Structure 1
Amino acid sequence: MDAINVLALHGYHGSAQILRRQLHPVAAALPATINLTYVDAPSLSRGDFGWWHEGFSGWERTRDWVIDLAARQHFHGVIGFSQGAALAGLLTAVQETAPDPGAEEAGRRLGFGFAVMIGGFTSDAPQHGQLFTRPLTTASLHVTGAADSIVPMRDSLRLADRFADPVVLRHGGGHVIPADREVVGRIVDFVSGQAASRLGASARSGGRGDA
């Protein structure tokens, strides 16, 4: 393995193209060995790229769609913004704790070694209760804005609390992917560090890509 592939998940009513623009400062600063794969949500109605809708309608479809995508394209990590960050948290929980019979296979196919969640929130929906029975051990970075009026900081911190050892990065802005040098640098440092550990593990295993 000579590259790290990261799945990038946009926010509600966003798109792969929009997220590409939003993440450009981060993507431009990442090492060449790290590839971001931007995808559109499987639409539930024409032109609507929400990952799910009221009452988490469409969640199962999205979950299965991402699992199938991960079976075709191996991802080492995931980064999401807003609803995409919430999705990243749910998918991380699926790969660690999903109670259904296909959980082990789903976890193997997802295979996220780390997750970056920007302006994210957690789910209290009954159908997700069994996903959060214990702290998640996947390495995680949670980016949250003090002036975020859409996803308040307290909601992003509740998502961080789902993880055993979360890294929390606070900034003074709102519901945005920050472009200032300090915040971008810390996101890049986290992703680069996770990538380096996985590239090193692959090299030690003989380059099989099973890090």
Structure 2
Amino acid sequence: MAPRKILVLHGFAQSGTILQKRMGAVRKACKGVELVYIDAPHVLTPADLAETFNSPEELGAAESTENDPALQPRAWWKTDAQRTKTNGAEESFAMLRDILSKDHYDGIFGFSQGACMAAWLTALLERPETFPPFLVDGKPPHPPFQFCVAVAGFKPNSPLAQSIIGESISTPVLHVIGRNDVIVVEERSKTLLDVTPNKRVEYHDGGHFVPSKANWRAFFRDYLLKAPADADVVSPSLSTATASQPASGVSTPVPASVE
């Protein structure tokens, strides 16, 4: 049997390679699942990062990756101070349209800004007519996803996002929320929860990262193999396998805005 194929979208100031490395333990645990990590189209400049990150140390750490093209910080869109714009999202949709038209994906997995884009793209595949440039010869480039996983997600705040997402995304969505996430706090995540009636919500005790303790590795493996028929996938919070495990998962530098 061919493995399930999942499209994976990284967070703001990451790249596909960066997220792939930080999800190494999860990725290795997901036997029977092919996780396809891709890069957002917009490379962030030092000026972009200077406007976003809180300290010179964090900025320096982000800039130090620029010599390796695979580690260049990227974004699915850029926003304004009021977070009412998603500048460059149209180019991201054009790139995603071309990727989806060439292969089939069972579901989509996103982290932070990538989780927003994953949910946004999920909605667009449900209602492709809401953004005609996404169509290929008048038809959607891909059928709707079977499911969406949004880790530290939130609803994009722009007229384009509202026109596509509307009031509801009917595709099943798994939300993963960090109880100690100070970047995408639970209240902000609620903006996405509110438009996904067919949802499952799981919490971890960490911050702004994809959890990767043993119970979470097992949960992601089982969920990605079975979703959307996931009723018998045990919640990681109910697992007793890792009560004494050390904290795991790697946090990204703390930005002032991840939109």
Q: Determine if the TM-score, normalized by the shorter chain, exceeds 0.5.
A: yes
Counterpart for residue 188 of structure 2:
155
Counterpart for residue 100 of structure 1:
131
Change (3 A) 1:60 1:101: closer
Counterpart for residue 172 of structure 2:
139
Contact map agreement 1:5 1:74 (CA 8 A) in 2: yes
Counterpart for residue 6 of structure 2:
6
Q: CA deviation at 1:141?
A: 0.7
The one-letter code sitting in structure 1 at the alignment partner of 2:101 is: A
Number of paired residues?
Answer: 196
Match of 1:50 among 53, 75, 79: 75
The one-letter code sitting in structure 1 at the alignment partner of 2:131 is: D
Asked if 1:18 corresponds to 2:40, the answer is: no
Partner Cα distance (1:165, 1:87) in 2: 18
The one-letter code sitting in structure 1 at the alignment partner of 2:162 is: G
Asked if 1:80 corresponds to 2:110, the answer is: yes
Q: Give the TM-score, by structure 1 length.
A: 0.83
Q: What's the RMSD between the two structures over aligned residues?
A: 2.2
Contact map agreement 2:110 2:149 (CA 8 A) in 1: yes
Match of 1:130 among 148, 156, 163: 163
Please say which structure displays the higher CA radius of gyration. 2
Counterpart for residue 254 of structure 2:
none
Partner Cα distance (1:5, 1:146) in 2: 29
Change (3 A) 1:103 1:49: closer
Contact map agreement 2:176 2:203 (CA 8 A) in 1: yes
Q: CA deviation at 1:111?
A: 3.5
Bigger share in helix: 1
Counterpart for residue 116 of structure 1:
149
Asked if 1:36 corresponds to 2:61, the answer is: no
Contact map agreement 2:109 2:149 (CA 8 A) in 1: yes
Residue correspondence of structure 1 range 57-76 to structure 2 within 5 A: 57-76=87-106
Change (3 A) 1:166 1:16: same
Counterpart for residue 202 of structure 1:
none
Contact map agreement 2:4 2:225 (CA 8 A) in 1: no
